[in-house]
Amino acid sequence: MHELSIAMNIIEIAEEEAKKSGAKKIVSIELAVGKLSGVVYEALDFALQEAIKNTMLEKAEIMINQLEGKAVCLKCLHHFQLENLYEVCPECKHPLCSIIQGKELKINSLLVD
């Protein structure tokens, strides 16, 4: 399961950060997951709930922010929302665009104690 390894990766990074600041536990963690990152939001949420057991995040509040896909057309420079990677520009139907937002998978903030 793809999302489980991502969840474990996130936990690893979070614990490392927390240990660096001498914290004993993680109170809350805020993640940003782009719609175009290929990560299934519900699956990641579920995987995290399982994976945090017996870690510093066991009692942490987990917030996952979903980021919309945003792109700019390389031909007409029109900005538009991208639901998937294969969409064409809604203005000029040009198939190539540059993705501005939506492929992220990162830790936005971490609150330790």
Interface residues with Zn ion (CB under 5 A) are 73, 75-76, 78, 89, 91-92, 94
Nearer to Zn ion, 2 or 75 (CB): 75
Counting every residue, how long is the chain? Answer: 113
Nearest approach, Cβ of 76 to Zn ion (angstroms)? 3
Q: How far is the CB of 90 from Zn ion (least distance, A)?
A: 8
Distance CA 28, CA 41 (A): 18
110: left (phi over 0), alpha (psi -120 to 50) or beta: beta
Shorter beta-carbon distance to Zn ion: residue 38 or 90: 90
- Within 10 angstroms of residue 106's Cβ, the number of other Cβ atoms is 13
Q: Please identify, using beta-carbon distances, which residue of 10 and 73 lies nearer to Zn ion.
A: 73
The angle subtended at Cα 113 by Cα 5 and Cα 30, nearest 5°, is 45
CB of 37 to Zn ion, least distance (A): 24
Query: CB of residue 36 vs Zn ion: minimum separation in angstroms?
Result: 18
Distance, CA of 16 to chain centre: 18
CB-nearer residue toward Zn ion: 100 or 111? 100
